[in-house]
Amino acid sequence: MKIALTELSTKDLATLAQRIISNAQSGKYPVIINHPLIGTLQSSYADYDKVYTKQIYSGKGVDVATADQERDMAYRNLKAFLNGYRKLSSASNYQTAEELYRVFKTFGLNLDRLSYSSQTAQMKKLIEELETPENTQKLSALSLDTAFADMKTKHQDFETLFSEQAGANADLRQMASATAIRKSLEKTLKSYFNLLTAMKDVSGWELFYSDTNELVKAAKNSSLGKKEGGDTAPQK
């Protein structure tokens, strides 16, 4: 019963372990019922099953980027309106637009080009300043209450998603290493195979050994077939 477990793909190793456990628990082989090594194998496989297909990252990157684009658009629209309105000296409240535009200038006119963290820090200060009673009145005078509320909401939505992404990524990094858990499963399977090999000529173990050996051969052939058929992911 020979097989290079290290050469099996993550999924093939999982499949082999699953089949080995199911076969041992089928009730066809009295010699293995309640054997402590089966319990150890089940525990090792359960740990492996939790992490062998885990994502490296949260997968929320696209949502975060989209939220950032929407935040940028709301910021640009409000800034562009003030920039245009303040230049219309014949329009009423153009001076108010000038004053609000200066608030934008204070915290930077290119916030949408900054990194997530830098933009967040500056946007927070900008929003706080625009929320002062004086500036709230100026926004109302220019009928910009809704536009400002939209920018604020888009900023908060981004912050929520970014926080969720950071938390999810942290949780994934804290999970036990799939590589370490794989080695543990391989070690347990080897011990199991060694047991069956040592007992294969003992009465009651012959059929059990033979059937298990067929499962091992199938796993080995599956691995060889993928190599010969080129069923591997292309390298970048």
Mean per-residue pLDDT over the chain, rounded = 87
Start-end of H helices in the chain: 10-24, 36-51, 61-85, 94-107, 116-130, 133-141, 145-174, 178-199, 206-229
Residues sharing a CB contact under 8 Å with residue 122, sequence separation 6 or more, in sequence order: 107, 108, 111, 114
Nearest in space to 86 (alpha carbons), one of 74, 77, 96 = 96
The pLDDT value given to residue 223: 64
Provide the CA 177 distance to its chain's centre, in angstroms.
Answer: 15
Note whether 164 and 60 are within 8 A (CB): yes
Amino acid at 126: L
Residues with pLDDT less than 50, the chain: 227-236
Quote the distance between the C-alpha of residue 5 and its chain's center: 28
Q: How far is CA 70 from CA 14, 60, 150, 151, in A?
A: 43, 16, 10, 9
pLDDT of residue 229: 44
